[in-house]
Amino acid sequence: MSTSTPDGLVLRGFTPPLRLADFKLIAFDMDSTLINIECVDEIAAAAGRKEEVAAITEAAMRGEITDYKESLRQRVALLKGVPVSALHEVFDQRLQLNPGAEALVRAAQAAGLKTLLVSGGFTFFTDRIRDRLGIDYTRSNVLGVEDGLLTGRMVDQPWGDICDGEEKKKMLLATCALLHIAPKQAIAMGDGANDLPMMGVSGLSVAYHAKPKVRDQAMVAINDGGLDRLLEVARP
């Protein structure tokens, strides 16, 4: 059973209000959740291939492409030859935090929650967002670079090759284990189908301006306004 409010919040499976301090961890997707863009699409613009890459991204986020890893490999291959300077341009000129992002992160930190950023995107961006917001843990993908140009491939990491939906879930569960907390003490926020695995094991799943499949499964759907609208449901 779900309850819709006239101002763009949909609640499902619980009765608010909750207390933010009852949770110990909050996990964020990055692209189109914590930030306003899909970074891979914006990098592709430098190669003149934004429309092609964005179409794959949209299908993957809607859950129409079930093999996220392969979809990302396809998109990254189209970035071959793009200079690293294009990534700096995307970060400096196009990337912004979504409305309410910093307010929500600060409220969570003040309430004693640890913060986790798990992204199917790239460390170039997650590292910078981590440093800007003081996020505790991150997991994302490393773009291969040779002679200042993207290779069109990603670099393997000790935990695996690509951070897809299953890896996001694994990282959330591993972080809970590290913190000696139960997954039900974690909040997971995302917008795309690859966020559903981590949202499914968390105690509170939050869809932010999300794809229909994600909105339909989340306990909280924020369809209007900023990320900090979660504070109307889980009060500081």
Query: Could you tell me the domains of the chain?
Result: 2-37+97-235 (3.40.50.1000)
pLDDT, average across residues 147-169: 95
Measured on CA atoms in the order 68, 24, 231, 130, is the torsion positive or negative? negative
Which amino acid type is present at position 59? A
Considering 7, 31, 67, 216, which one is annotated as catalytic?
Answer: 31
Task: Write down the residue that tokens 């790239």 correspond to.
Answer: 122
Mean pLDDT taken over the chain: 94
CB 189 within 8 A of CB 230: yes
Cβ atoms within 10 Å, residue 71: 21
Beta bridge partners of 83: 149
Q: What is the pLDDT of residue 15?
A: 80
Torsion angle of alpha carbons 97, 172, 124, 72, nearest 10°? -100
Give the predicted TM-score (pTM) of the model.
0.94
Nearest C-alpha neighbor of 196 from the set 172, 225, 227, 161: 172
- Of the pLDDT bands very low, low, confident and very high (cuts 50, 70, 90), residue 4 is low
**Known catalytic residue at 29:** yes
Q: What is the pLDDT of residue 13?
A: 87
Q: What is the pLDDT of residue 167?
A: 97
**Known catalytic residue at 228:** no
Q: What is the pLDDT of residue 133?
A: 98
Considering 29, 41, 164, 228, which one is annotated as catalytic?
Answer: 29
